Amino acid sequence: MKPEEAILSTLLTIEGNQWHYHTPKYQREYTWGKYNWSKLIEDIYDSDFAHYMGSIICVHETGEITPSEELIYDVVDGQQRMTTISLLLMAVYYKLKFDLPKQNNQIEIEDDYKETLNSIRKKLVKKIKTTTPNVPIGGFRNDGFNCFLRVQPSSQFSNLDDYKYILSEIELIDVLPKPKNCGNRSMYKAYQYFYDQIPTDWSVLKDLLDRINRLEFILISETSHSKAFMLFETLNNRGVPLSGIDIIKNKMLAVLEKKHGIDIDDSYNQWQKLLVNLPTHDEQDRFLRQFYNAFKFRDDIKVDKIPKATSSTLIKIYESLIKKDASGIFEELQGKAKYYNQLIEPEKYPISKLTLALIDLERISATPSYTFLLYLFSLDEDRFEETDLKLKVVELFCKYYLRRNVTDFPNTRDLDAINIDLIEQCQKQIIKEGVLSYAFIESTLLTGKGKPESIVKFRENLANNLFYNNEGMARYLLAKLDETGHSRENKPNLWSRNEKDIFIWTVEHIFPQGKNIPKEWIDMIGDGDKSKAEEIQEKWVHCLGNLTLSGYNSKLSNYSFSKKQSRSEANVFGNPITIGYQNGMVINNIEFRTNRGTFTLANAPEWKAEMIEARNNVMVEMILQLFAFSKSELE
């Protein structure tokens, strides 16, 4: 085993471009999704220096290589990260080569521009001109070249075909036909996601590329697969490493004992009480970051030259705060952690409209909003113009972050700055007027730095394969639509979980999403034409109109539509209960109209593309009524 520290630019250009990282065929397919892609972008921008990406474990069983040979590593651990970074580089390359010259027609003659394009090419593919028909191991023929992919994904689920097609699309290899349903798979979705997230600006692209090149890895190479897999198991079964909050705790307790004469056992007990309000390491780390961002407008909190807390600046911030006043910052952290707990564990508190709104906010995955809410909840209520200001703001944030999560705008990397700016504007308003009003907060959020997408774009994203693009938001909205018709007698808990902490009620695709479409579905939805059924599946299968919620998803599976509608099962007393679409759920009885009449999912005689579209349109409009910022938006 030879662990080596390496940044990405070194990893992918080392030894004269001879090293390549290929995922063996037996490895699983590419599985990263939108959460992972957005987290990678967030981490890249959050790190002021170099973001640590973890270890790459690979195997090369042969001995030394000659200058004319290529070293093909088998990747045992690291496929998802390496593939994703390569897809990000492809998106940057496309922006540079095809989009940027449209804005700056002189850029193509600049040496820095040419060198930048060339550096990306080298990190993606190596091409060797040859007239011999022989293709070396690990390579492939393309337009008279032997080509070697620097990073090669698994061939499972058409991953390699999709990956090569993207390379041909950005013209790094000769044109290849687009694989069938390529746009509906994760590989192309990731590439498209990164393309949509990256601005077309020379300085911004250079900065992003510099950050990508500085990504840090530990490369661990073994001479046999058995050793590599043993190492993989060892590394993945070790305990949680020392976190930022552990380091800060140790520093805090040491200073309290040394400078303030506080017994370290007493300080430790107080620290444990603080952690009762912050149950997980992730929540502890996020609390420390959001605490600084929420209160850095204060002179006693602000640290020079650190405009916001990030993972890479966190320890430096708290070292400074501890040095200034360890006892004071410790006491304040304990107090603010109690407010924070109300945000992250609202279900523990007495039921109220505010509690229910906070539970909704949690379900929407609106954790960036906790920065502002921590600030707001810490204010004396005599600073509020309305007695229900907290409730109104949380409800506003539910609408705001739902739209943000559905439209991906504002960008994740901008959310901290948006919350910090909103806090600063509120502080100025308090100094000026003495109080805060809901109208001021709403106007500042919706028209300032955090101005959200238009309702037109919101509608478009809701209507377009929402489940594929954001599974969490699709499930949340299905539950909200059903809850609009709940009564005291009929109020299923759509958020209950089983003993494994998995939702009991899960999203059910009416027209099945599997790539092997059952014959009865081909006959019904595709009129017997498999290609037509596949086209309809690609366009509509993940749309809201083709979704419902079920507590018996596995028992509906790929059954025919009529069986899914009427499916029943005996309960503990032996009586049949309906578990299909005729179970009385509100979302199964939403009416939609086609040229054949008015139907619901429960009574439709069959399931066709026009029915999915019609139901989808109705559901989208219902959601807009629930989550528009104002009635005027809908006019």
- DSSP line for 510-566: SS--SSS--HHHHHHHSTT-HHHHHHHHHHHTTSGGGEEEES-GGGTTT--HHHHHH
- Three-state SS letters, 385-444: CCCCHHHHHHHHHHHHHHHHHHHCCCCHHHHHHHHHHHHHHHHHHHHHHCCECHHHHHHH
pLDDT at 226: 57
> What is the total residue count of the chain?
635
Q: Is the dihedral of CA 494, 497, 503, 506 positive or negative?
A: negative
CA neighbours within 13 Å on the CB side: how many for 122?
19
CA–CA separation, 463 vs 482, rounded Å?
18
- Does residue 143 come out as left (phi exceeding 0), alpha (psi in the -120 to 50 range) or beta? left
pLDDT at 67: 62
When pLDDT is averaged across residues 101-123 and rounded to a whole number, the result is 90
Band the pLDDT of 14: cuts 50, 70, 90.
low
* Residues 483 and 373 occupy one common structural domain: no
DSSP character for 5? E
When pLDDT is averaged across residues 132-144 and rounded to a whole number, the result is 78
Band the pLDDT of 572: cuts 50, 70, 90.
very low
pLDDT at 56: 87
Helix (H) or strand (E) segment spanning residue 577? strand 576-578
Record the tokens describing residue 234, joined without a space: 């060892």
Reduced to 3 states (helix: H, G, I; strand: E, B; else coil), residue 336 is helix
Rounded to two decimals, the pTM is 0.72
Digit-coded pLDDT (tens) for 411-426: 998 999 999 999 999 9
When pLDDT is averaged across residues 529-554 and rounded to a whole number, the result is 93
- For tokens 């993207």, the residue is 166
* Residues 209 and 289 occupy one common structural domain: no
* Residues 257 and 229 occupy one common structural domain: no
* Residues 167 and 257 occupy one common structural domain: no
Among the listed ranges 32-36, 44-48, 525-529, which one has the minimum average pLDDT value?
Answer: 44-48
pLDDT at 66: 60
- For tokens 């960008």, the residue is 411
When pLDDT is averaged across residues 57-68 and rounded to a whole number, the result is 68
Domain end point (choices 425, 452, 479): 452
pLDDT at 239: 40
CA–CA separation, 603 vs 88, rounded Å?
46
* Residues 469 and 448 occupy one common structural domain: no
Asked whether the beta carbons of 547 and 467 are under 8 A apart, the reply is yes
Domain end point (choices 236, 266, 298): 236
pLDDT at 290: 97
Asked whether the beta carbons of 389 and 439 are under 8 A apart, the reply is no
When pLDDT is averaged across residues 624-635 and rounded to a whole number, the result is 94
Alpha helices per DSSP H over 34-183:
34-46, 79-94, 100-103, 111-124, 159-169
Among the listed ranges 364-368, 488-492, 587-591, which one has the minimum average pLDDT value?
Answer: 488-492
Reduced to 3 states (helix: H, G, I; strand: E, B; else coil), residue 370 is helix
Instruction: State the average pLDDT for the chain.
Output: 88
CA–CA separation, 408 vs 133, rounded Å?
47
Record the tokens describing residue 325, joined without a space: 């006043």
- For tokens 């009620």, the residue is 505
CA neighbours within 13 Å on the CB side: how many for 142?
20
When pLDDT is averaged across residues 258-275 and rounded to a whole number, the result is 82
Asked whether the beta carbons of 284 and 245 are under 8 A apart, the reply is yes
According to DSSP, the residues that pair with 597 across neighbouring strands are: 594
CA–CA separation, 446 vs 421, rounded Å?
12
What are the C-alpha distances in Å from 451 to residues 332, 399, 618? 32, 13, 27
* Residues 69 and 148 occupy one common structural domain: yes
When pLDDT is averaged across residues 167-173 and rounded to a whole number, the result is 94
* Residues 189 and 273 occupy one common structural domain: no
* Residues 224 and 254 occupy one common structural domain: no
Asked whether the beta carbons of 185 and 156 are under 8 A apart, the reply is no
pLDDT value at 235 more than 70: no
Q: Is the dihedral of CA 572, 576, 579, 585 positive or negative?
A: negative
Residue with the larger pLDDT of the pair 253 and 629: 629
* Residues 130 and 173 occupy one common structural domain: yes
Digit-coded pLDDT (tens) for 65-91: 566 678 888 888 889 999 999 999 999
pLDDT at 569: 74
Asked whether the beta carbons of 495 and 503 are under 8 A apart, the reply is yes
Domain that holds residue 315: 244-452
CA–CA separation, 23 vs 20, rounded Å?
10
Q: Which of 25-34, 102-111, 551-560 has the highest mean pLDDT?
A: 102-111
Burial 119-137, CB ≥16 within 10 A → b, else e: bbbebbbbbeeeeeeeeee
Digit-coded pLDDT (tens) for 422-465: 999 999 999 999 999 999 999 999 999 999 999 999 999 999 99
Reduced to 3 states (helix: H, G, I; strand: E, B; else coil), residue 364 is coil
Residues 6+ apart with CB under 8 A from 39: none
Short-list 373, 374, 371, 363, CA closest to 402? 363
Asked whether the beta carbons of 586 and 484 are under 8 A apart, the reply is yes
Query: Dihedral (C-alpha) 18, 24, 25, 29: value to the nearest 10 degrees?
Result: -100
Short-list 348, 360, 583, 355, CA closest to 476? 360
Asked whether the beta carbons of 56 and 3 are under 8 A apart, the reply is no
Band the pLDDT of 15: cuts 50, 70, 90.
very low
- For tokens 């209520």, the residue is 381
Record the tokens describing residue 337, joined without a space: 């952690």
* Residues 308 and 228 occupy one common structural domain: no
Domain end point (choices 399, 424, 452): 452
Digit-coded pLDDT (tens) for 382-417: 999 999 999 999 999 999 999 999 999 999 989 999
Asked whether the beta carbons of 29 and 82 are under 8 A apart, the reply is no
Short-list 422, 579, 451, 453, CA closest to 508? 579
How many domains, in total, are found in the chain? 3
* Residues 20 and 71 occupy one common structural domain: yes
When pLDDT is averaged across residues 19-45 and rounded to a whole number, the result is 86
Record the tokens describing residue 90, joined without a space: 């492809």
Record the tokens describing residue 380, joined without a space: 């004396």
pLDDT at 574: 56
* Residues 575 and 430 occupy one common structural domain: no
Band the pLDDT of 229: cuts 50, 70, 90.
low
